Amino acid sequence: MNHKIAYRETLLVVLILLLGYLFVHYRVYDIFSNREQIIQFIKSFDPYDQFAFMAVQVLQVVIAPIPGEVTGFIGGYLYGPVMGTLYSTIGLTLGSWLAFGLAHFFGLPLVEKFVKPELVQRFDRFMRKKGALYAFILFLIPGFPKDSLCYVIGLSHIPAGTFLLIVIAGRFFWTLMLSMTGDFARNDEYMSVLVIAAVSFFLGIVGYYYRNRWLRWLRLRRKRQG
């Protein structure tokens, strides 16, 4: 066996065991599965709670089961729409870059630990050749598993700098919507919350309903270019 491959496989096993230990020992999932517990966890780091929040956003990308909608809402609730969006964007970008880098270094064995195999097979073909435009469009689709997509893109030939631009631009709108919702909820402006929720729900339904059409369009475009 190639020594480089053996080294990576050994390192991957150690990484998975370490993450599993930390997850269980510190009850990470129990904390992050409850909005109030996340808020208290972040506030406990005051006056450096902004860094704690960004670290939570990093984790919710790298460890996909943590719901991103909850942490995005909390950013607006704690820091307002502007700073909440800024902190979320920094955390999400760092987390996306980390997922991308891990996938690029460890390859398919790691990606299959975090992403369903059918999802990997479905989108890996898009990413391997001229995938930047396709990746950006997929990031814009509401409800699309963007965190999983970061791992899949890590298997492609897309440069890291291009990937980061795609992540920032593709995530921005929904990050802003979540931050605004959290800010309105903090100020008891529930009518505004309902309006944003209704708009987001409508866009989410439309995006989800037409997602297959988007993917068919991407396939046809790629065939014409290829």
The 10s digit of each residue's pLDDT in 11-22 is 656 666 665 655
Average pLDDT over residues 185-211: 66
Residues 120-171 have pLDDT tens digits of: 776 766 665 556 777 887 887 776 788 888 888 888 888 888 899 999 998 9
| pLDDT greater than 80 at residue 82 | yes
| pLDDT greater than 70 at residue 218 | no
pLDDT, position 135: 81
Residue 212 binned pLDDT confidence (cut-offs 50, 70, 90): low
Report percent pLDDT > 90 for the chain: 20
Q: Is the dihedral of CA 166, 170, 175, 180 positive or negative?
A: positive
25-57: burial string, b at 16+ Cβ within 10 Å, e else = eeebeeebeeeeebbebbeeeeeebbebbbebb
Which range (47-56, 60-69, 198-207) has the least confidence? 198-207
CA atoms within 13 A on the CB side of 173: 14
| Region of residue 143 (phi > 0: left; psi between -120 and 50: alpha; otherwise: beta) | left
CA-to-CA distance for 98 and 154, rounded, in angstroms? 10
Identify the residue whose tokens are 């309006």. Answer: 195
pLDDT, position 144: 75
Number of structural domains the chain divides into:
1
Residue 205 binned pLDDT confidence (cut-offs 50, 70, 90): low
Expressed as residue numbers, the domain containing 213 is 3-225
CA-to-CA distance for 71 and 59, rounded, in angstroms? 10
pLDDT, position 159: 87
| pLDDT greater than 90 at residue 79 | yes
Residues 183-193 have pLDDT tens digits of: 888 877 767 66
